[in-house]
Amino acid sequence: MKYHSLNNPDLQVGFSRALLSSLAPDGGLYMPNSLPRFGADELARLGALPFHACAAHLSRFFVDDKFTDEDLRALCADAYDYPMPLTTLAGERLDAATPEPGDEYILELFHGPTLAFKDFAARFMGRTVSHLLSRSDESRTILVATSGDTGGAIGQAFLNLPGVRVFILYPNGGVSSVQVHQLTSMGGNSNVKAIAINGTFDDCQALVKKAFADKDMSSEHHLMSANSINVGRVIPQSFYYFWSSVQAKAAFPNRPIVYSIPSGNLGNLTGGLIARKMGAPIHKFVAANNANDPFVDYLNTGEYTPRPSVPTLSNAMDIGKPNNFPRILSLFDDDFSAITDVCSGYSYTDAQTERHLRKTFTHDNYLMCPHTAVGHMALQDFAESTDENYTKITVSTAHPAKFLDEVEQIIRETVPLPSLLQDCIDAPSHKHVMEPTLAALEEFLKANC
């Protein structure tokens, strides 16, 4: 599979180059030149495999000859060694053998090591990058700006991998206290360093962009991005849509499927749209935003207006200029009506999110994180807007305990901490506080070679 720059279709590279360089030399985002398309028989065959085996099969089409089938099978089995339940609010699993009568499901993508869906992409990326670097004498320095979840997932996925250093830039005071522990507990003498930037997430992202744009700095440190501008982050996010939609279709063959996705940089939605283009039986997507809703505005008005982000309760979605918007346009050849045939959008205030989170907890005894609550509300509003009877799947992007203080305050009860999070809280914390300037970043990179 070749990848091209969205700025210039003639600028093409293989998977390894696209992955290790993040952006095309002309600054464009990489996209696959084509996508495989699977028919009904093949969908059924892939759906009958365990998820990691299905992922290995799909990844074959996206990588290059530096990966054998055996490499991909081992890599995916190792990356995806945790469950991915498709469950009702009451905790009944969707299972093709014993279909439940319900039509509303949660796809829980938060059972990986850092308890957010970002693990799916980060673990695939970490293993593919490590595979490539271990067969060359190249090294990489990963700069990753995070609003909370990406940094932890990338740090964990690359922790102690040879040939890679990771610098995580997060807004000082702008992520949850549990997330701070996750980010700062990997440091010490490892190859992963957490940097608390005195500024917002936008400042972190702007600083990373400046570093990449600085030719000297970029080439001296072999900088690489692990944010969703990197196509290696987006591709694996198609795998769980592909596999889970086949499961849902097998259980309920006559119902069309809609997914609701709590969205920020739109990488998760882009993964879903790629799965759909590969033939996954998905009818529609609902994009759910918080107050940072340039994409929902676009779907509803046709006008796209990026803007500075504002802080909200669902902080991983506090994005004013979604990275992956150009990829979504390209998947639909810039055809607005084609996009709105497939995607609907809804946005919510923090007050609505709090109310919904409390309601699903008290009425349904299901505790969701604030991001998932936004997605769940959007799915309910979408369902009310149509007469069609869908299998409705809300994508749950993080474990509620990642936002412990916020969630406990909303439900006024204590939330038990999963042991993975307790371990981070108990571990020593290492961070470096920095002003958002290129000079400060450069000095720190040099000091930590």
Residue 309 lies near ligand PLP (rule: CB under 6 A): no
Residue of 268, 312, 391, 394 interacting with ligand PLP (CB under 6 A): 268
Q: If binding is defined by CB under 6 A, does position 118 make contact with ligand PLP?
A: yes
Q: Which DSSP letter does residue 391 get?
A: E
Check residue 319 and report its DSSP letter: -
| Residue 316 interacts with ligand PLP (CB under 6 A): yes or no | yes
Listed in sequence order, the DSSP H helices in 314-393 are: 325-331, 336-342, 350-364, 370-384
Tell which one of 397, 406, 407, 410 touches ligand PLP (CB under 6 A).
397
267 binds ligand PLP (CB under 6 A): yes
**Which residue lies nearer to ligand PLP by CB, 16 or 268?**
268
Q: Is 232 exposed, middle or buried (0-12, 13-18, 19+ CB in 10 A)?
A: buried
Q: Nearest to residue 371, comparing CAs of 131, 163, 147, 142?
A: 147
345 lies in the site for ligand PLP, by CB under 6 A: no
Site size with ligand PLP, rule: CB under 6 A: 16
Number of helices (H) and strands (E), helices first, in the chain? 20, 14
Residue with Cβ nearer ligand PLP (237 or 245): 237
Contact status, residue 240 vs residue 51, Cβ threshold 8 Å: yes
CB of 230 to ligand PLP, least distance (A): 12
343 in contact with ligand PLP (CB under 6 A): no
Nearer to ligand PLP, 271 or 436 (CB): 271
266 touching ligand PLP, by CB under 6 A = yes
Stretch that binds ligand PLP, among 211-219, 263-271, 275-283, 376-384 (CB under 6 A): 263-271
Nearer to ligand PLP, 187 or 264 (CB): 264
C-beta closer to ligand PLP: residue 16 or 237: 237
Helix, strand, coil percent values for the chain (each to nearest 5): 45, 15, 35
Are the CB atoms for 196 and 431 separated by under 8 Å? yes
Q: Are strands 140-145 and 86-87 parallel, antiparallel or unpaired?
A: unpaired
Binder among 16, 59, 141, 265 for ligand PLP (CB under 6 A)? 265
Residues 379-404: b if buried by 16+ CB within 10 A, e if exposed? bbebbeeeeeebbbbbbbbbbbbbbb
Q: Which residues bind ligand PLP (CB under 6 A)?
A: 116, 118, 149, 228, 262-268, 316-317, 371, 397-398
